[in-house]
Structure 1
Amino acid sequence: MPGSGSGAVTRNTLRQQIADALRDEVLAGRLPPGTEFTVKQIAEQYEVSATPVREALVDLSAQGLLESVQHRGFRVRTYTVDDFRGMIEARTLILDGIFRCLVERGVAPGAAEMLVSVRRRGEEAQRAARSGSLEVLIGYDLRFWRELSGLVGNPYISEFLHRIRIQCWVFSVPHLQGSPELRTALWDGHNELVDAVTLADADEVRRLVRAYNQHGLDWAARL
């Protein structure tokens, strides 16, 4: 049918825009864990039809940000400290594989330009972490890890790690907001990790990744 393809693209684009907007609201702490809402409420808020909203909420549920509440709509998922430890364990296994590939077989074609971009993300993330700018850090940190894992050239690995990292932030944000020790709670070794990957220094990469994951576990143990 004429025009049906264009309509599908428009709806899918709107679906992604809504999903991105709601995810950003969750990561900024403006939709804290346990917040409930309906498709109708979100559709009215964004002044759109219910269909792309429902699809966006289902997508976010599949990513672990939301959970469906029978007959009531959706709720921002609440993660426990044990959940967070499990996320770090999964993240550790994925990172070990990613960096083993990067060090042993090298990075994907065109990696030199990609590393320049990764380093810029790392510099911004490091600057935000040291200044305690949580919302700014989250944006750059997610881009940093997505681009760094993308150097392997396997989109399935990159996407899986990205999803876990979002879940880690969903857990962390409510605990970090307003924390008097915010700066010390935020990891800021992004540039050192890029340096180690660039030099293919396997021992340094392993040391930094271990320190990164241990930093998260030590922080969670104090909650």
Structure 2
Amino acid sequence: MSIFEAQTPLSRTAAAAAADLIRQAIVDGRVPPGHRLKEEELAQQLGISRTPVREALLVLQSEGLVEAAPNRGATVRAYDTADLEEMYELRALLEGHAAGRAASRVTPDQLAQLRESCTRFEGLLDGGDVQALVLENAVFHETILEATSSERLRAMVRQVIALPLVYKSYVWYSPAQASASYHCHLQLVKALERGDAQRAELVMREHVYEARDVLVAHVGASAAPDAGDAT
């Protein structure tokens, strides 16, 4: 069975398109941490040769999503709690800086987009549609990144955001935690409206650390000796 959903034509270079498709399969959880990525199987599923698949895996290796080991080939990289805590420290620094930078650059249109995102997020709190909440959360954070007017910063933040999705951190959010996330978004919008860079940075860091605590607690529990096959 293919790990890829309805596949679109590979309109760009085969290697770049393959990297996008494999990356999405990893982030969506269709290939979990520790899963072996066989070049021949991937090539067959994508309908391309092994060479662009090999190039795609090298790209994903440079992003930290894939690792290669002698005599084993490429696997989806698995992280322990110490790794994840470090990634979240980096994310807090980068996204905190991004929020502070956005405070002096955000446009009226972007502020309107952020307010609309908060409204949609609130409407999803009681619906049980976790995936929709994740997508709306991504819209909110991406809008703030756009407001920084820094492609370099956006690229760096995206690298440290991908891993929580791989580990599906959002699955473990309780209704209370989702509500707390919503209120953080409201506070961020207010800080950005006032152009308060210091407040925006502080709220964003706290927001990221709360997400870290949820993920690390559950990854640590699943790795415990009595967790059975949870890993």
Q: Give the TM-score band, short-chain normalised.
A: 0.7 to 0.9
How big is the shift at 1:26? 1.6
Instruction: Say if 1:97 and 1:116 are closer, same or farther in 2 by CA, change over 3 A.
Output: same
Q: Number of residue pairs matched?
A: 206
For 2:153, the equivalent position in structure 1 comes to 157
How big is the shift at 1:72? 3.0
1:172-213 deviation per Cα after TM superposition (whole angstroms, max 9, x unaligned): x1x655x5x554455333344234312323464245224312
8 Å CA contact 1:27–1:135 kept in 2: the answer is: no
For 1:16, the equivalent position in structure 2 comes to 16
**What's the TM-score once normalised by structure 2's chain length?**
0.74
For 2:143, the equivalent position in structure 1 comes to 147
Instruction: Say if 1:131 and 1:215 are closer, same or farther in 2 by CA, change over 3 A.
Output: farther
- In structure 1, list runs of 5 or more residues that go unmatched: 1-8
Paired with 1:59 and 1:29, the residues of 2 have a C-alpha distance of 19
Greater Cα offset, 14-23 or 195-204: 195-204
Paired with 1:206 and 1:32, the residues of 2 have a C-alpha distance of 33
Alignment of 1:128-207 (within 5 A): 131-171=127-167, 173=168, 177=171, 179=172, 182-184=174-176, 186=178, 187-188=181-182, 189-202=184-197, 204-207=199-202
Structure 2 residue matching 1:141: 3-state secondary structure: helix
1:109-162 deviation per Cα after TM superposition (whole angstroms, max 9, x unaligned): xx3334444555555556556644344444443443233112111111110001
**Which of residues 210, 218, 225 in structure 2 aligns to 1:215?**
210
1:113 matches 2:109: yes
- In structure 2, list runs of 5 or more residues that go unmatched: 1-9, 219-231
Instruction: Say if 1:82 and 1:128 are closer, same or farther in 2 by CA, change over 3 A.
Output: farther
For 1:5, the equivalent position in structure 2 comes to none
Backbone CA RMSD of aligned residues: 2.9
Residue identity matched to 1:39:
E
Instruction: Say if 1:62 and 1:131 are closer, same or farther in 2 by CA, change over 3 A.
Output: farther
Structure 2 residue matching 1:222: 3-state secondary structure: helix
Structure 2 residue matching 1:113: 3-state secondary structure: helix
**What's the TM-score once normalised by structure 1's chain length?**
0.76
How big is the shift at 1:43? 0.6
Instruction: Say if 1:112 and 1:211 are closer, same or farther in 2 by CA, change over 3 A.
Output: same
Instruction: Say if 1:40 and 1:128 are closer, same or farther in 2 by CA, change over 3 A.
Output: farther
Q: Percent identity?
A: 23
